[in-house]
Amino acid sequence: MNSSEKNTLKNEKHYDNVYSKVNVNNILSKLENLEAFMNDATRTDTSWVGLYHGDFQHQLKGKKILELGCGDCTNAAIMAAYGAEVYANDISQKSGDIIKQLNENYDFESEIKFIEGDFLKSELTHDFYDIVVGKAFVHHLTHQQEIEFTEKIVSILKPDGIVRYFEPAVNNKFLDYLRWLTPVPGRPSKIQRKKFKQWKLNDPHPDRDNSSKHYEKIGDTYFHTTNIVPIGSIERFHRILPRKHSRKFRRFAFRFERKLPNLLNSSITRSHLVEYKQPKK
């Protein structure tokens, strides 16, 4: 078994456990209060601010969209509720179980279709999808897997197709060093060597380059246009605040950081929206 296969198996086992605990009623509640949920999430929660940057929700209706790593299926459900024809893929069959329940309990314009298992082994139609999205997905892939995924994505996208990823960004080595020193729920500090080593053994994220420059290189190789938007350069500091002030600070931070020079913003950002357009066929 090569490193890519080991990484896939590790992800499958990890996320089978995670997604078996998903409460579908929580997703249905978001769908029933769609505008209120999106108004809050796209101003406050990093991944939603990032993926839906530029009112992405209003570009979805009627589009054929493939989501890679659909996970707990909340994003797939939101896109379908906005009128997209959603095809959702995940290595975990538990995601397929969630989608089945969502389709049974919500009247989507077009039911969500689940594409089970390894994307690289799935038989998909060429020149079919308008948009491919991934919400905190690519950083789970090895570099070799990322290249293989990208080449397949190029083949299944329409000539004017778009790829839209929200991913963590590591553009500053010093801030990344501090990040590993700081314990967070579920992850010990790197100073706690034994605990950190055990955590790392179970971590589904491979060691890889998550910098904006890396994504630019991939984009320049396979697409005609690459656009990267830093997300969370100031917002990242909300963790040092008391929880009762956190969400208010995050909303302020997302507004404020848009005014920063792009070079500064990119150098300290926590995450980024990665957008590729017009695949090189």
DSSP 173-234: HHHHHHHHHS-BTTB--TTSHHHHHHHHHH--PPS---SHHHHHHHHHHHEEEEEEEEE-TT
**What top-level class would CATH report for the domain 3-169+208-279?**
alpha beta
What pLDDT score does 278 carry? Answer: 98
Q: Which pLDDT value is given to residue 6? A: 65
Give the pLDDT of residue 53.
97
The reported pLDDT for the residue numbered 201 is 87
- pLDDT at 230 (0 to 100): 97
User: Over the stretch 2-57, which tens digit does the pLDDT of each residue have?
Assistant: 766 666 776 677 777 888 889 999 999 999 999 999 999 999 999 999 999 999 99
Whether the pLDDT of residue 125 is over 90: the answer is yes
Indicate the pTM of the whole model.
0.91
**pLDDT at residue 215 above 80?**
yes
Per-residue model confidence (pLDDT) at position 10:
66
Phi and psi angles of residue 249, each rounded to the nearest 5 degrees, phi first: -65, -40
Residue 157 has phi, psi (to 5 degrees) of -75, 150
Instruction: Confirm if 73 and 50 have CB atoms less than 8 A apart.
Output: no
pLDDT in tens, 94-117: 999 999 999 999 999 999 999 999
pLDDT, position 110:
96
Q: Which residue has the higher pLDDT, 178 or 279?
A: 279
Share of the chain above pLDDT 90, in %: 81
Q: What is the mean pLDDT of residues 247-252?
A: 95
CB 180, CB 199: distance < 8 Å:
no
